[in-house]
Every structure is written in structure tokens, then in C-alpha cells.
Chain A
Amino acid sequence: MKPYHISIDGQAVPYQPGQTLMEAATAAGVYIPHLCHNPEFKPHGSCKLCTVKVNGRSASACTLPAGEGQEVQNNTPELNATRRAITRMLFVEGNHICPGCEKTGNCQLQAVGYFVGMLDTHYPHFFPTRRVDASHPDVMLDLDRCILCELCVRASRDVDGKNVFGLAGRGLQTRLVVNSASGLLKDTAFSVGDKAAQVCPVGAILVKRKGYEVPIGERVFDHHNIGEVSLEHDQAVLGADHG
């Protein structure tokens, strides 16, 4: 059978028909920055960090199927500048005060900031005042840090079968909501062992009494950039799928 190939930054990358650009790139060890994508779940296409140029046109690598003859640009100064702008937008839209966040050092948004060379936030800050939900005995929600990736929504619906989370509102008012009459997490079937409690890439869903357990220097991104960490995780998931 003739092997299928796309080209990413001039490098020939094989793919299986049906694979997305992201899946083909990951399998080949090429990191494409992403936040809402996690190969354990269906693609979402909201964060736009994985925007690449395919034959000159912008596309999300997590949702676009790989196809013969695609010339993909990924690691270019222009695309990385766009990713830096997107990361800044995510930072100013919430209250990402890393020095006081339990997720610091283990946070994918922060690590992407480091990866794309974000040294400042550039835009005016929104300083939203969203509610903290600490009603649940084991897990708390700080919605000021939520980036609306819907990984918890997907995990709770598709893996846990509990449908605890959803997005409500439109435009800038879009927010994560909890599916209970009171709107509080304590009034759902949510449990700390749920997949949805583990997938948040930022500090929006935090397991209580676990903060600052890992010493500085031993946190996920202290010595490894998100490209390395992400490829290792995503390749393991893809390998398990095909294995």
C-alpha cells in the first residue's frame, strides 16, 4: 500500500487516512501548541492555538483531517506570534495571578506562555469577577481561571457519564456552569475520582488540600517545556488507541 504523507515545515510526515493533522504530527514527534485538545477526547477547536497554515490557509490542526499534498507550516515566527497574541488574550480575559495559584508550575496555559515567549500581557485586563464555588467537599472551582476548553464538559459527559458541566451564556458572558438546580457543585454526582476532576489544563478545577504539595523544581514544567511533556502524554494516548 502506498504510504500517505503530508509535509510539516518541510519535513515529510506519514499519516493514516482519517487522522487529523494534530494526530499525524504527534505520532511523528512534531509538537503543535494546543490547550483545548487532548487526544483522550474528541477535538474541540476552541483555543485556536494549534492554528497552522495549510497550503497557505489558516486551519486548526486538531480538527482538520490530514490529506495528500498538504503543505503545513507550523513552527514559523508568524504563527508563533499569533499564538503569543492568543495566549495574551486568554491571560487578560481571566485573572491569571500565577504567584497565588495552586496550579503554577503544572499549568498548561502558563507553560504555553513560556513556550511562545510571552513576557507581558500587552492588552488591557478585563478583571472579571466570577464566583468561586467551594461548596464541594473535595473539589473547588475558580472560574476566573477557566479558559472554556470544555475538557471537563467532555470528560464528565463522555467518560464519567455524569454530565456535570456545561457552558452557558454568549460571547464574553460565556461561562462554565454546573448542572444542578442550585448551580453548585456539591449538588451534583461529581466526585474527586472523576475524569473531569483531572483534565483541567489550568487552575479552574482544583482538588482541595493538594495545593503546593510538589516542591518548586519538581513540578511538571519546571525542567521540561510543554512541547516535550505534551508529546510524551499525547503519544502514549495515541499508542494506547492503536495498540
Chain B
Amino acid sequence: MANKLKVATTSLAGCFGCHMSLLDIDERLLDLCEVAEFDRSPLTDIKHCSETVDIGLIEGGLCNAENVHTLREFRKHCRILVGVGACALNGGIPALRNHIPLQECLEEAYLHGVGVEDAQVPNDPELPLLLSKVHPIHEVVKVDYFLPGCPPSADVFWKFLTDVAAGKEPELPYELVHYD
């Protein structure tokens, strides 16, 4: 196939579980690679999105400034932006920290945690600052599709990608939709 679909992926405030679930399509990955090639992704060494990417898969919600930066890069370059997994959809488990003021979270982890020595909250400018709350990605950029699940099953990825590769409107049958 002359023009393969370009697929970029990233994990923001994610656990990489959605990427593992994508890899759970197992040997179908070989079929996928016949019609698609990976652009920027944790699975490749490409540092930034190509000018035009067909599909961007975003795992994870937004928990820090770099997440927002990365998400905007994906939106700028991806024709179809896809929120993958519960975290991208509504913040997910990481959003449970929204109950606790950020300062308290940092102090618990870096100052008062068990076994902490030379206690200080990391403040090197190289480190991205945390957002005061965790947010789903649709609150920052327009998202074209969501694949719910924690994680979405391999069959969800397969159905979505094969639908797009076939030029069809992606559709998930009832059995493939779950939020947990």
C-alpha cells in the first residue's frame, strides 16, 4: 500500500495500560503494520509528530504542563484525534487527587512521606509543574472520538483502526463499550 496511515500515540497522565491493550491485538499488529505506520509514539524513537498524522491516540488525562503542551502538538498535527481510555475521557483514577489540594499532595509525597530523607519538593525548572487538578483531554482540545475502557480492550482498538483504515465511520458494537 503506497500511502500507509500514520498513527501517532502518546501517554499523558496515563499508566501505559492503554498502550499495552493496543499491543494485545497480538499478531494482528503485523496486519496493522501493512496498512499503518507509527509516527511519534512511545513505541518509536520519533520525538515529534510529523506535519500531518492521520490518527493520534491519546492515553491519559492532563496532570501537568507538559501534558497540555503534548496534547496541543497532537491536535495540531493529527487529522483524527482519539481519546483512549478512562483517563483521557474523564481524568480517570488520577482525578481522585482532585479531592486533595495540590500542595498537600506534594507535601505528603516529598516532605512527610515515610522514609523520605533530605525532604524537599522538587523545583527544578526542567520539571513540568503539576496542574492544580487533573482534567480530561476534551476540556483543552477538540477530540474526534473516544474509546472508553480502563483500558479499552484490544478488540476496541482493532475495530476502530480497521474501520478507519477501511474508510468507514468507526463504530463500536454494544459488547465492546465499557467504562471500567
Binding site for B on A (CB under 8 A): 91-92, 95-101, 104-105, 110, 113-114, 117, 119-122, 124-125, 127, 129, 225
Q: Is the CB of B90 within 8 A of A125?
A: yes
Asked if B148 contacts A99 (CB within 8 A), the reply is no
Instruction: Assess whether B143 is interfacial by the CB under 8 Å rule.
Output: yes
Contact partners of B143 in chain A: CB under 8 A? 120
Offer 17 A-B interface pairs, CB within 8 angstroms, sorted by A: A91-B90, A92-B90, A97-B91, A97-B93, A98-B179, A101-B180, A104-B179, A105-B180, A110-B179, A119-B148, A120-B83, A120-B146, A121-B89, A122-B138, A125-B139, A129-B98, A225-B174
Choose from A101, A104, A120, A129 the contact partner of B89 (Cβ within 8 Å). Answer: A120
Q: 8 Å CB contacts to A: which residues of B97-149?
A: 98-99, 133, 135-136, 138-139, 143, 145-148
Nearest-neighbour CB distance to chain A for B162, whole angstroms, equals 18
Interface string of B32-45 (1 = CB under 8 A from A): 00000000000000
Chain B residues with Cβ below 8 Å from A129 are: 98-99
Interface of B is mostly: mixed
Residues in B neighbouring A127, C-beta threshold 8 A: 91, 95, 98, 133
Q: Determine if B164 is an interface residue (Cβ-Cβ < 8 Å).
A: no
Residues B95 and A120 in contact, CB atoms below 8 Å apart: no
Number of CB contacts from chain A to chain B under 8 A = 68
A124 lies within 8 A of B139 (CB): yes
Any A CB within 8 A of the CB of B29: no
With A99-B180, A127-B95 already in contact, 16 other A-B pairs whose C-beta atoms are closer than 8 Å: A96-B90, A97-B93, A97-B95, A101-B180, A104-B179, A105-B180, A113-B179, A114-B174, A114-B178, A119-B147, A120-B89, A120-B146, A121-B138, A125-B136, A129-B98, A225-B174
Closest B residue by C-beta to A104: B180
A221 to B180, CA, bound (A): 12
**B154 contacts partner chain A, Cβ-Cβ < 8 Å:** no
A121 engages B90 (CB within 8 Å): yes
Question: From residue A115, how far is it (CB to closest CB) to chain B in Å?
Answer: 8
Give the bracket for the number of chain B residues in contact with chain A: 20 to 34
> Given that A121-B136, A129-B99 are known contacts, is A97 also in contact with B86, CB under 8 Å in the complex?
yes
Report B137 CB to chain A, min CB distance, Å: 10
A119 with B90, Cβ < 8 A, contacts A95-B95, A100-B96 known = no
Cα–Cα distance between A98 and B90 once the two chains are bound (Å): 10
Closest chain-B Cβ to A85's Cβ sits at a distance in Å of 15
Q: Which of A92, A95, A99, A125 contacts B179 (CB 8 A)?
A: A99
Which residue of the partner chain B has the closest CB to A120? B146
**Nearest chain B CB to A79 CB, angstrom units:** 19
- The CA of A129 and the CA of B100, in the complex, are separated in Å by 9
CB-nearest residue of chain A to B171: A117
The interface residues of chain A lying within 8 Å CB-to-CB of B150 are 98-99
Interfacial chain A residues near B95, Cβ < 8 Å:
95, 97, 125, 127
CB of B92 within 8 Å of the partner chain: yes
Which of A104, A114, A120 meets B138, CB within 8 Å? A120
Let me know if A97 and B92 touch, CB within 8 A.
Answer: yes
User: How far, in Å, is B135 (CB) from chain A's closest CB?
Assistant: 7
CB-CB nearest in chain A for B88: A120
User: By the criterion CB–CB under 8 Å, are A119 and B145 in contact?
Assistant: yes
Q: What's the nearest-Cβ distance from chain A to residue B95, in Å? A: 6
